[in-house]
């Protein structure tokens, strides 16, 4: 079992604002880190899978960075839009090759 | 392609009843997973399979059994349902390993009275 912490638990931002949130995980025995976006009444959808220290990935206005030495990853959303409203989950991969999901950051973008 | 599908979408059981949840994927994925989602908790892994005919326990396996007789199907069974098993169950699959993204089904909402 991995101790995964995501912060903040929830946040509200105005449309057009940029925002970021954090995923913290054990830095020892790191294998990979997943980010998922989960809209209400839908299923989680993968955003990124990150494996290397210093990795940066980008998909449209969403980007993520990874620091495996200190055990954290940031997810950034530039110019938030109402359709970005969702819960964002991170999940490091354990030694048993499974994912351990955090409880997520619930983002609400106010038009 | 349908992706990952789950049957049924909703179910209400009485304590002690049994049922089977079906997950099917048409992406030829090797790995399949069953998770449960409870309020205030992250997705927790119940059981998983790394290939046809193989299964393994996840974080919260007690009270559940699984079978993977065909590559495309992963069944989750509740032998004697308990109210603590009231949850939303998600199935997921991935191509070859946990370094690949997982694809999730739409979920099954189970209530045990």
Per-residue model confidence as pLDDT tens digits over B48-64: 999 999 999 999 999 99
User: Residue B18 carries which DSSP code?
Assistant: -
Separation in Å, CA of A9 to nearest CA in chain B: 10
Sort out which chain B residues have CB atoms less than 8 A from A35's CB and list them: none
Whole-angstrom distance, CA of residue A97 vs CA of residue A80: 33
d(CA B66, CA B76): 5
B90 touches chain A (CB under 8 A): yes
What does the pLDDT average to over A55-65?
A: 96
- Would you give the DSSP letter of residue B79? S
State CA B30 to chain mean position distance: 15
**Chain B contact set for A102 (CB, 8 A):** 42
C-alpha torsion angle, residues A82, A87, A88, A93 (rounded to 10): -160
Question: Is the minimum CB–CB distance between A101 and chain B shorter than 8 Å?
Answer: yes
Q: Which of B40, B98, B106 sits opposite A99 (nearest CB)?
A: B98
In which band, very low, low, confident or very high, does the pLDDT at A95 lie, cut at 50, 70 and 90? confident
Residue from the list A32, A46, A101 with its beta carbon closest to the beta carbon of B43? A101
Backbone phi, psi, residue B13, to 5° = -120, 155
Question: What per-residue confidence (pLDDT) applies to A30?
Answer: 85
Task: Give the model's confidence band at A15: pLDDT under 50 very low, under 70 low, under 90 confident, else very high.
Answer: very high
Q: Which residues contact A83 (CB under 8 A, 6 or more apart)?
A: A109
A40 in contact with B, Cβ within 8 Å: no
Mean pLDDT of B16-24: 97
Q: Is the pLDDT of residue A16 over 80?
A: yes
Structure tokens at A38: 């989960």
A48: closest chain B residue by CA: B101
% of chain A exceeding 70 in pLDDT: 100
- Residues of chain A contacting B25 with CB distance shorter than 8 Å: none
Q: How many CA atoms lie within 13 A of A70 on its CB side?
A: 9
**Interface check A2 vs B, CB under 8 A:** no
Unique residue bearing structure tokens 């964002």? A88
Predicted confidence (pLDDT) at residue B72 exceeds the cutoff of 90: yes
CA B7 – CA A99 distance, rounded (Å): 23
Say yes or no for a CB contact (<8 Å) between B42 and A93: no
Average pLDDT over residues A10-33: 94
Cβ-based contacts under 8 A for chains A and B: 58
* Over residues A66-85, mean pLDDT: 96
pLDDT of amino acid A12: 97
């Amino acid at each position: 079992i991995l101790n995964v912490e995501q912060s903040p638990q929830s946040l509200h931002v105005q449309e057009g604002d940029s925002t970021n949130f954090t995923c913290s995980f054990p830095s020892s025995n790191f294998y990979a880190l997943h980010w998922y976006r989960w809209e209400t009444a839908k299923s989680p959808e993968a955003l990124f899978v990150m494996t290397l220290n210093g990795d940066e990935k980008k998909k449209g206005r969403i980007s993520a960075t990874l620091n495996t030495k200190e055990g954290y990853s940031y997810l950034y959303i530039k110019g938030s839009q109402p359709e970005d409203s969702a819960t964002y989950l991170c999940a490091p991969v354990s030694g048993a090759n499974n994912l351990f999901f955090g409880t997520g950051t619930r983002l609400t973008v106010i038009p | 392609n349908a992706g990952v599908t789950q049957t049924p979408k909703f179910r209400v059981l009485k304590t002690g009843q049994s049922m089977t949840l079906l997950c099917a994927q048409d992406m030829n994925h090797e790995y399949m997973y069953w998770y449960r989602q409870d309020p205030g908790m992250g997705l927790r892994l119940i059981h998983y399979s790394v290939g046809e005919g193989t299964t393994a326990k996840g974080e919260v396996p007690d009270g559940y059994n699984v079978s993977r007789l065909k590559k495309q199907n992963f069944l989750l069974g509740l032998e004697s349902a308990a109210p603590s098993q009231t949850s939303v169950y998600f199935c997921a699959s991935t191509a070859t390993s946990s370094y690949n993204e997982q694809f999730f089904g739409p979920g099954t909402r189970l209530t045990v009275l």
